[in-house]
Structure 1
Amino acid sequence: MVNCAVKNWEGEEVSQINFEWRVAKPENASHIVHRALVRQMTNSRQGTASAKTRSEVRGGGRKPWRQKGTGRARAGSIRSPLWRGGGVIFGPKPRDFEIKMNRKERRLALRTAFQDCLQDAVVVEDFNDRLPRPKTKEVYAALQRWGIDPDRCRVLAIAPKPDPNVTLSMRNLPGVKLIYVNNLNVYDLLTADRLVVTSTALNQIQEVYGDD
């Protein structure tokens, strides 16, 4: 179980929230999280790279010169891989890079990574009403009040649902990435130095990604 202090917009501690769910055993945690990370990164590949073989390159139907008597090496096509403009030997072809992983394993890996990040996370009250209009300066100041310097670390902010003012206020901060509960993933959790999550989002995460 993890006890998290909830801070308000001004950076003052106002309450406590308990977070507990089933995670991987310590001896297996790094392995299953690594598998989930490799799966996510591999499955994000498009797999559309393609190079033409000698049978697909235009031209080359006519023998460049006769077989014997020229003093030059034998050649049957100007689209041979040995020629400039010829086909590619063992070049890439469209393929599917998908790696499968059981749903329960994926969710277990996500819970394990999230709870590990939660040790140093900052839980804050919902601040949508604090931004009646997009204002990056106010979000930057709030992060500093919460003890986070976005200029020195990579910050992952998790909100319960999209809000235009919050999105527009955070997108100009190069060190801050904003995602929503339904977009929670292992890669973003592992690449972030600090985590900022609203109390509502934390409750939704516990409800949606709880024990199977």
Structure 2
Amino acid sequence: MKIEVYNQKGEVLEEIEAPQNIFAVAFNNDLVYQVHKSLLSNQRKPLAFTKDRSEVRGGGKKPWAQKGTGRARHGSIRSPIWKGGGVTFGPRQKEENLGKKVNKKMKKASVKIVLSQKLKDKEIRIIDKFEPKEIKTKEIFNILKQIFKTDITKSILVLLDNKEQTLKRVFKNIPKVETLNVSDVNILTLLNNKFVMFSKDALATLEKQLA
């Protein structure tokens, strides 16, 4: 499969052969789901934390005598059966592990699957190089507008090579545009955006990374 390479004016410069190891991977819904769920779980932070009866303040004094009152015997007002007492088997932030592990091979495979699907859906854009006259938001926005035309209103993920990191600041000012270092690519950011865009240099880096 071939990919069109655009210049900064939105003109097609050439067509290059899409790297088969990245853009010709069969869709595997189970793998994508597993990795996606793992990444979301690892982002969660356990907040709930309950105290057991030994941690609740107070309750050291026996509420009433063991015998002679006619009432049920109790040793502490901080027992779990009392209002304001400790909690039995409640959530414990320190003990709760919400993370789900997946290995690097699965993460790489999931990225390839999503990129392959995006290429089939014509949601990949490659630019020859980012060389704006000035590093200003207006210049970068005009480049995107020339390439994406009416699709400029949709969400775009721009993968930047190490040499292109100086552009990250100006991309931040453009609505619905997210930037990411190509070495940090993952399926969460890929799936959260409609289109993916990168330069030929970033593509070369991506190819080495996912090899």
Normalised-by-shorter TM-score class: 0.7 to 0.9
CA contact (8 A) 2:155 2:176 kept: yes
Residue in structure 2 matched with residue 190 of structure 1 by the alignment = 191
Unaligned runs of 5+ in 2: none
- Whole-angstrom CA distance in 2 between matches of 1:157 and 1:36: 22
- Whole-angstrom CA distance in 1 between matches of 2:199 and 2:107: 23
Aligned-residue CA RMSD (Å) = 2.7
TM-score normalised by the chain length of structure 1: 0.82
AA aligned opposite 1:125: D
Of 119, 125, 128, which residue of structure 1 is paired with 2:128?
125
Cα deviations by residue, 1:154-177 (Å, 9 ceiling, x for unpaired) = 211101126454111111234111
Q: Return closer, same or farther for 1:163/1:20 CA change in 2, 3 Å cut-off.
A: closer
Q: Does 1:32 align with 2:31?
A: yes
- Whole-angstrom CA distance in 2 between matches of 1:11 and 1:31: 37
Between stretches 154-163 and 180-189, larger displacement belongs to 154-163
Give SS of 2:153's match: coil
Give SS of 1:54's match: coil
TM-score normalised by the chain length of structure 2: 0.82
Give SS of 1:50's match: coil
Cα deviations by residue, 1:99-144 (Å, 9 ceiling, x for unpaired) = 23343233222211122123321111221x31643x2222222222
- Whole-angstrom CA distance in 2 between matches of 1:151 and 1:75: 69
Pairing 1:17-166 to 2, within 5 Å after superposition? 17-22=16-21, 24-26=25-27, 29-47=28-46, 49-67=48-66, 75-93=74-92, 94=94, 95-119=96-120, 120-127=123-130, 129-130=131-132, 132-133=134-135, 135-147=136-148, 152-161=153-162, 163=164, 165-166=166-167
Q: Return closer, same or farther for 1:89/1:186 CA change in 2, 3 Å cut-off.
A: same
CA contact (8 A) 1:124 1:196 kept: yes
How many pairs does the alignment contain?
A: 205
Unaligned runs of 5+ in 1: none
Give SS of 2:126's match: strand
Cα deviations by residue, 1:35-83 (Å, 9 ceiling, x for unpaired) = 1111211222344643222221222211233356667765432323454
